[in-house]
Amino acid sequence: MSYHATEAVTLRRWRTQEADALYLLFTESLGKVTAKARGVAKSTSRIAGMLQPHSRIHVILYQKQEDQDVLSVTQVSLVRRYSRLQGNLKSLSLVACAAELIDFCTGEGEPNPVIWSLLTKLLDFWEENEATEAQLAAFALRILKETGFEPHLAACAKCGVQERSEWYYSPERGAVLCPGCRRTERLALSGTAVVAMARLTAGERLSALHLKEQDVKDMLLFLDEHIGYHVGQRLRALRVLQQISVPPDVTK
């Protein structure tokens, strides 16, 4: 029997029987965990609002047995609500993509301070600034690298050539191929988009890049294919983003 006090971001919520609910949390000290909160569907619940998806909270979790899959929420206090992000469909979709990505790429009970820092810094930044698809792409590439799903973008996976104006993505290889080595690969990517993704994966700041609207669209198409093939699940919220135009100033 143990208690865990930690900060957390709510990734997902779903109802269970009666007035209880389950929450998927990414925590600072425990990594991803599933926790049950009792009575949160009742009108008298004082913690339901604090546990809303994408909120940053301080929570105390009760674990009766060491191998227990679902922990119990005993206390919650709000650290930051990120209310500005709830204001429009685009912001909500971007945050939902980030939450889904962390859910899909991480295992339960695996603490990762790098991912915790990336997530909280992204949410803090988006609460104060416009959230963009380019920022999501940069975040996704860092998460993929941190969790072992990093794509290979520095050169053609077959012949090794490093500079081309057009590339093709090979899902099986998790890499790009030049036009000369391409066979059945269909997803074409601009050379500038591939260079940008390689630089972002290496840790370069988004503000140092000069991206065009098509570059960002290519990056999102690539991430959709790469995550779907190598992680095994596609980001549902990305379907919404693909229907929203990319703003001209994509490097903010």
CA nearest neighbour of 95 among 144, 51, 131:
131
What single DSSP character describes residue 193?
H
Q: Is 212 within 8 Å of 250 (Cβ atoms)? A: yes
* Mean of all residue pLDDT scores within the chain: 92
pLDDT score, position 191:
97
pLDDT score, position 199:
95
* Angle at the Cα of 98 from the Cα atoms of 101 and 228, rounded to 5 degrees: 35
Categorize the per-residue pLDDT at 189 as very low, low, confident or very high, splitting at 50, 70 and 90.
Answer: very high
E strand or H helix at 61: strand 56-63
Categorize the per-residue pLDDT at 85 as very low, low, confident or very high, splitting at 50, 70 and 90.
Answer: confident
pLDDT score, position 3:
93
pLDDT score, position 49:
87
Categorize the per-residue pLDDT at 43 as very low, low, confident or very high, splitting at 50, 70 and 90.
Answer: low
Q: Is 54 within 8 Å of 99 (Cβ atoms)? A: yes
Please report the domains of the chain, with CATH numbers, ordered by start residue.
Answer: 2-81 (2.40.50.140), 85-241 (1.20.1440.120)
Place of tokens 């690298």: 145
Strand partners, 7: 58
How buried is residue 37: exposed, middle or buried, by Cβ count under 10 Å (0-12/13-18/19+)? buried
Q: Is 188 within 8 Å of 168 (Cβ atoms)? A: yes
**Whole-prediction pTM value?**
0.92
E strand or H helix at 189: strand 188-190
> 3-class DSSP state for residue 45?
coil
CA nearest neighbour of 23 among 79, 71, 95, 67:
71
pLDDT digits (tens, 9 = 90+) for 99-124: 999 999 999 999 999 999 999 999 99
Place of tokens 């135009």: 245
Query: Residue range 41-51: average pLDDT?
Result: 83
Asked if pLDDT for residue 1 goes beyond 80, the answer is no
Categorize the per-residue pLDDT at 248 as very low, low, confident or very high, splitting at 50, 70 and 90.
Answer: very low
Contacts of 184 (CB under 8 A, 6+ apart): none
Backbone φ and ψ for 33, nearest 5 degrees, come out as: -140, 155
Around Cβ 13, how many Cβ atoms within 10 Å? 17
pLDDT score, position 19:
84
Q: Is 155 within 8 Å of 177 (Cβ atoms)? A: no
